[in-house]
């Protein structure tokens, strides 16, 4: 982190020339090149090497919080602390002639603590007292000390934990220290992280009614010059053992079969992948995406533990929210008639007269459903070879888009002061999943999941004009801060992908009536 510099220090041409030297037999360039440019070229080479030897990789757009000075100056300048300096930083000369900047002309808690510890002569790092120093000795180092009775009063004050103002300042300072440490090792930091740190610290400080609200967070970031930056996380996944040539041959045969017999013959919009995305041990969603990148409706939510939700409750939610189907119990354990009804509702009615369904071994029962329902001439089922899902199942990567959107909603709920929406309650879990589905099936995301097929080699590499919009960035981006709900003018929760207007949390997820969401 200490090596961060403005990009003007780097000449891209020199970096590329040096990178070419690593990748080919081209001689090392003779032109002058800085150590920073050499370092960048080596890092890029390592990234390319790791990606080339991986079984899967992806770049996930994200944001992180950093000190403003990280990029605005040539070197990082540490912001001023929120409280007085430590004993090691303290300068004995206390300028009494200058106007006092402390609250009500009274020293803050840290000043009092240092003065009392110096007076009581504690051994550094231990609460072991040597000999109490004289008043004159203390006054020489701490100019605001006036009497022994004042020191006794300060000691009693410290033992009680200080005032609300002191505790609030102590929390801010401890969080600032934590932020410096995490930012110093390039940790991705979000608003919710700072709020969680503050709540954890308050378990020790015990500031009554402190909840690390959005207002507190805003002031903390403003006071310490903390800003949000766009970043990208490169995720490279490698197997512990290299994939054998025989295994690669199996993968290539299946991929070529899907391409030549189905994608090229009936079109990629008629080729589908179905997979289960686990939310926890009880809940999961079944997603179906087309080769063109479209997410199908309706959404299926499975509740493995049938005691969690009754069929009557499930039917009520289905009638309240359109495009929703709830299965109680595991899909593979369903009554054949019920399984047939599910397949007809969520797949057959939403697809063309001839299509191909790519599934993993968990959905092998779909082949029996197709046969029993007399749909063999319409639906062709291809099962991914067991153990090769990580190289052949598009929704392995595509489901991460879903999970990121759900996480963004949960983070908002956790971080928002006064939000009484219990996201762990069953009907609210269903509402959140249904809302995410409603957003990701919007027209603007009609090709959103195509990259999941491209990464695995089923489709050609996209051109720059096919760059998909990141749903989380669109919904929860920076524009959110300066806009209000178009219905009630309360604080905006997100930008809707369907109506492309800003809405508050209540109108998005709470105030629902048939057929469901605000845009219907």
Q: Is the pLDDT assigned to residue 388 strictly greater than 90?
A: no
**Phi then psi for 497, rounded to 5 degrees?**
-75, -15
- Gap between the Cα atoms of 298 and 484, Å rounded: 30
- Same domain membership, residue 175 and residue 153: no
Q: Which of 358, 356, 441 is nearest to 393 (CA)?
A: 358
The reply to whether 81 falls in a domain is no
- Gap between the Cα atoms of 402 and 449, Å rounded: 10
- Same domain membership, residue 455 and residue 355: yes
**Domain final residue, candidates 160, 176, 199:** 160
DSSP 124: T
The reply to whether 87 falls in a domain is no
Residue 194's beta-bridge partner residues? none
- Cβ–Cβ under 8 Å, residues 254 and 392: yes
Using omega within 30 degrees of 0 as the cis cutoff, is the peptide bond preceding 417 cis?
no
- Cβ–Cβ under 8 Å, residues 276 and 323: no
- Gap between the Cα atoms of 66 and 79, Å rounded: 11
Give the model's pLDDT for residue 130.
Answer: 65
pLDDT averaged over every residue in the chain: 81
- Same domain membership, residue 398 and residue 502: yes
Q: Which of 319, 317, 325, 323 is nearest to 286 (CA)?
A: 325
The reply to whether 133 falls in a domain is yes
CATH number at residue 423: 3.30.420.10
pLDDT band at 4 (very low <50, low <70, confident <90, very high): very low
Q: Are strands 56-67 and 226-237 parallel, antiparallel or unpaired?
A: antiparallel
- Same domain membership, residue 360 and residue 220: no
Backbone dihedral region of 377: left (phi > 0), alpha (psi from -120 to 50 degrees) or beta? alpha
Q: What pLDDT digit, counting tens, does each position of 121-171 carry?
A: 866 555 556 678 889 989 999 989 999 989 988 888 877 767 788 888 889
The reply to whether 519 falls in a domain is no
- Same domain membership, residue 214 and residue 114: no
- Gap between the Cα atoms of 150 and 141, Å rounded: 15
Work out the burial of residue 424: count CB atoms within 10 Å of its CB; fewer than 13 is exposed, 13-18 middle, 19 or more buried.
exposed
Q: Is the pLDDT assigned to residue 439 strictly greater than 90?
A: yes
When divided into structural domains, the chain yields a total of: 4
What does pTM read for this prediction? 0.65
- Same domain membership, residue 189 and residue 128: no
Give the model's pLDDT for residue 472.
Answer: 92
Q: What pLDDT digit, counting tens, does each position of 64-90 carry?
A: 888 886 544 333 334 444 444 333 333
Q: What pLDDT digit, counting tens, does each position of 175-211 carry?
A: 999 999 998 888 889 999 999 999 999 988 888 889 8
The reply to whether 49 falls in a domain is yes
CA angle 324, 330, 332 (to 5 degrees): 105
Q: What pLDDT digit, counting tens, does each position of 224-264 carry?
A: 999 988 887 777 766 555 567 788 889 999 999 999 999 99
Q: Are strands 379-383 and 355-359 parallel, antiparallel or unpaired?
A: parallel
- Same domain membership, residue 470 and residue 379: yes
Give the model's pLDDT for residue 193.
Answer: 92
- Same domain membership, residue 188 and residue 141: no
Give the model's pLDDT for residue 298.
Answer: 87
Q: Other CB atoms closer than 10 Å to residue 451's CB: what's the count?
A: 21
- Cβ–Cβ under 8 Å, residues 286 and 300: yes
Q: CB neighbours of 268 closer than 8 A, spacing ≥ 6? A: 290, 291, 292, 453, 459
Q: Which of 160, 382, 369 is nearest to 271 (CA)?
A: 382
The reply to whether 497 falls in a domain is yes
- Cβ–Cβ under 8 Å, residues 339 and 366: no
- Same domain membership, residue 126 and residue 38: no
- Same domain membership, residue 417 and residue 274: yes
Q: Coil, strand, or helix at residue 297? A: coil
- Gap between the Cα atoms of 452 and 470, Å rounded: 14
Give the model's pLDDT for residue 333.
Answer: 75
The fraction of the chain above a pLDDT of 90, given in percent, is 26
The reply to whether 103 falls in a domain is no
Mean pLDDT of 319-332: 82
Give the model's pLDDT for residue 105.
Answer: 61
The reply to whether 4 falls in a domain is no
- Cβ–Cβ under 8 Å, residues 22 and 421: no
- Same domain membership, residue 254 and residue 202: no
Domain that holds residue 113: 109-160
**Domain final residue, candidates 134, 160, 186:** 160
- Same domain membership, residue 152 and residue 205: no
């Amino acid at each position: 982190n200490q090596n961060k510099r403005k990009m003007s220090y780097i000449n891209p041409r020199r970096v590329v020339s040096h990178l070419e030297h690593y990748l080919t037999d081209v001689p090392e360039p003779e032109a002058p090149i800085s150590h920073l440019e050499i370092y960048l070229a080596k890092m890029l080479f390592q990234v390319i090497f790791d990606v080339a030897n991986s079984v899967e990789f992806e770049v996930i757009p994200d944001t992180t919080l950093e000190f403003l000075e990280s990029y605005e100056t040539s070197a990082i300048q540490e912001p001023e602390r929120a409280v007085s300096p430590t004993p090691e930083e303290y300068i004995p000369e206390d300028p009494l002639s200058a106007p006092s900047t402390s609250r009500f002309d009274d020293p803050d808690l840290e000043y009092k603590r240092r003065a009392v510890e110096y007076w009581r002569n504690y051994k550094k790092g231990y609460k072991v007292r040597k000999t109490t120093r004289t008043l004159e000795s203390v006054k020489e180092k701490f100019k605001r000390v006036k009497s022994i009775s004042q020191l006794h009063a300060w000691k009693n004050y410290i033992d009680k934990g200080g005032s609300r103002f002191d505790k609030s300042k102590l929390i801010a300072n401890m969080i600032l220290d934590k932020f410096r440490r995490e930012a110093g090792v390039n940790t991705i930091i979000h608003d919710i992280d700072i709020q969680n740190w503050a709540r954890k610290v308050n378990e020790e400080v015990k500031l009554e009614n402190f909840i690390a609200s959005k207002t507190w967070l805003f002031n903390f970031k403003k006071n310490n010059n903390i800003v949000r930056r766009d970043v990208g996380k490169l995720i490279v996944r490698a197997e512990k053992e290299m994939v054998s040539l025989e295994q690669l041959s199996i993968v290539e045969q299946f991929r070529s079969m899907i391409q030549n017999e189905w994608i090229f013959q009936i079109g990629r919009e008629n080729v589908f992948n179905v997979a289960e995305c686990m939310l926890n041990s009880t809940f999961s969603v079944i997603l179906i995406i087309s080769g063109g990148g479209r997410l199908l409706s309706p959404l299926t939510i499975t509740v493995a533990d049938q005691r969690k939700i009754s069929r009557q409750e499930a039917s009520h939610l289905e009638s309240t929210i359109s495009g929703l189907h709830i299965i109680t119990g595991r899909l593979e354990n369903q009554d054949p008639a019920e399984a047939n009804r599910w397949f007809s509702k969520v797949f057959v009615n939403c697809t063309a007269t001839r299509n191909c369904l790519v599934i993993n071994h968990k959905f092998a029962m779909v082949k029996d459903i197709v046969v029993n329902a007399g749909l063999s001439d319409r639906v062709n089922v291809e099962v991914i070879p067991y153990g090769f899902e990580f190289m052949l199942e598009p929704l392995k990567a595509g489901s991460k888009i879903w999970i990121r959107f759900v996480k963004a909603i949960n983070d908002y709920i956790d971080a928002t002061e006064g939000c009484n929406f219990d996201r762990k309650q069953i009907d609210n879990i269903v509402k959140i999943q249904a809302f995410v589905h409603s957003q990701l099936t919007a027209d603007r995301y009609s090709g959103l999941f195509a990259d999941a097929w491209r990464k695995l080699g089923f489709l050609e590499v996209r051109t720059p004009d096919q760059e998909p919009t990141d749903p989380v960035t669109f919904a929860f981006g920076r524009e959110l801060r300066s806009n209000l709900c178009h219905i009630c003018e309360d604080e905006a929760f997100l930008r809707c992908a369907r109506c492309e207007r800003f809405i508050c949390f209540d109108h998005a997820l709470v105030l629902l009536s048939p057929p469901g969401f605000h845009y219907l």
